[in-house]
Structure 1
């Protein structure tokens, strides 16, 4: 059972025939939820934890969810029990000063000091940059909603050649904030027409992605309608995004290989 009120979910291995049995490599990971899933996402997609498990989960692993937006975080004593952490998107600003955001910034600094694998998505990308000494804020080019073609740098193109990652990576985007300035010693891994920092890495243990590799178009359309109903986006933005939604398909399989490869330590920088 996938549970978003706090708890663990085991991705159980499928037992092969006796003659073909092989050791299943197990890992323990934590998802830090920075937003509450809507009733629709819970009903249709099983909640954001399940959405991330479909992108990142593999046989034999155990995943734990913490509602970071409700001030739930692993204790410092528990950190070493995890192989990696995932920071999700949020409707809050990564440059805000809400207490839970400040607590998350402090927690991410601890993860960095311990060289823990951390993958940040959208808000997660921005809050990682902030925690490491970078700057975030409103995008100079406004909202980016829809499927955007991301262009990897030569560094990551060379690195990912073994994973058969293409030179252009369409991904679903839904953001009005961005990384303004990278932390010292961080490296840009990808950019797009609207966003200068679509991906970045910090050492070999932290990676941020501005887009949403975990989303499909159904979730995107739902979020557009939800934000429109709450007057968080203008009608013109929503209409443009919906009108262009079928122009490009997100390469979810390539993003899955990339995200799993990073989080599971299969990439050598």
Structure 2
């Protein structure tokens, strides 16, 4: 019997490296979040591929990915995504926003985003989780400080009304937020592996977004670091599905048995 059904709203094109090594960003997310018996669908929203209103109800939750685009811009697909997120909020659907997804979710709910005042944040960053979330994390056996991979130059500047900051870092004031029990944003990338981060650093140099000397410094800094991917995996699954059991499934299939 088929279990829950989820949709990944893809907000970035897949680099060839990520396609070949991980099955694209969709594959990366399914590896982290997928469980047996579930159905996972993908919608490339950058190309105007959105779920129909009639199909929204079949999903138990949505994941909004990172992007090279700015959450504060008004590209047609971004405006359409904002409308979809508002509908999902009205329906109290579970939505997990990652990086760009964190920012666009904030904007859809009435908050503000923009360029980070402290510039790029690339590498591994320690996130401090709020005391209000400590009880939930304790039940998951997750510490209150978690390291995560970061790669962003935009940030959430102002939260929507009724939203709560549940994580921050020395670099970014709002690393995580929660809106009700159905929406959560994470500025970092719990889904990223170290090889994806190193590949992205090279891409940023190729597109003249960062200097090569800075890229070399970053690679040295992250050499001995390691994000706490298993802890983030538990946290994200617990939010999205309301379950805290250990997950060890790394299946990349759309339907997982």
C-alpha displacement of 1:25: 7.5
Which secondary structure does the structure 2 equivalent of 1:256 belong to?
helix
* Structure 2: unaligned runs, 5 residues or longer: 245-257
RMSD: 1.2
C-alpha displacement of 1:248: 2.3
C-alpha displacement of 1:261: 0.3
177-186 or 236-245, which deviates more:
236-245
Match of 2:51 among 74, 79, 82: 74
Which secondary structure does the structure 2 equivalent of 1:244 belong to?
helix
Residue in 2 aligned with 1:190? 167
Q: Equivalent residues in 2 for 1:39-54 (5 A)? A: 39-54=16-31
C-alpha displacement of 1:68: 0.8
Find the aligned partners of 1:157 and 1:139 in 2 and give their Cα distance. Answer: 27
Question: Is 1:228 aligned to residue 215 of structure 2?
Answer: no
Find the aligned partners of 1:149 and 1:248 in 2 and give their Cα distance. Answer: 11
Find the aligned partners of 1:139 and 1:235 in 2 and give their Cα distance. Answer: 21
Find the aligned partners of 1:208 and 1:142 in 2 and give their Cα distance. Answer: 20
Q: Which has the higher contact order (CA 8 A, sep 6+)?
A: 2
Which secondary structure does the structure 2 equivalent of 1:64 belong to?
strand
CA deviations over 1:42-99 (Å, ceiling 9, x no partner): 0111111110011100011000000011111101111110000000000000000100
C-alpha displacement of 1:158: 1.8
* Structure 1 segments (4+ residues) deviating >4 Å: none
Residue in 2 aligned with 1:7? none
Q: Does structure 1 retain, via aligned residues, the 8 Å contact 2:7–2:40?
A: yes
Find the aligned partners of 1:155 and 1:138 in 2 and give their Cα distance. Answer: 28
Question: Is 1:159 aligned to residue 131 of structure 2?
Answer: no
Residue in 2 aligned with 1:15? none
Find the aligned partners of 2:113 and 2:195 in 1 and give their Cα distance. Answer: 28
Which secondary structure does the structure 2 equivalent of 1:178 belong to?
strand
C-alpha displacement of 1:197: 0.7
Find the aligned partners of 2:211 and 2:132 in 1 and give their Cα distance. Answer: 37
Match of 1:96 among 73, 84, 107: 73
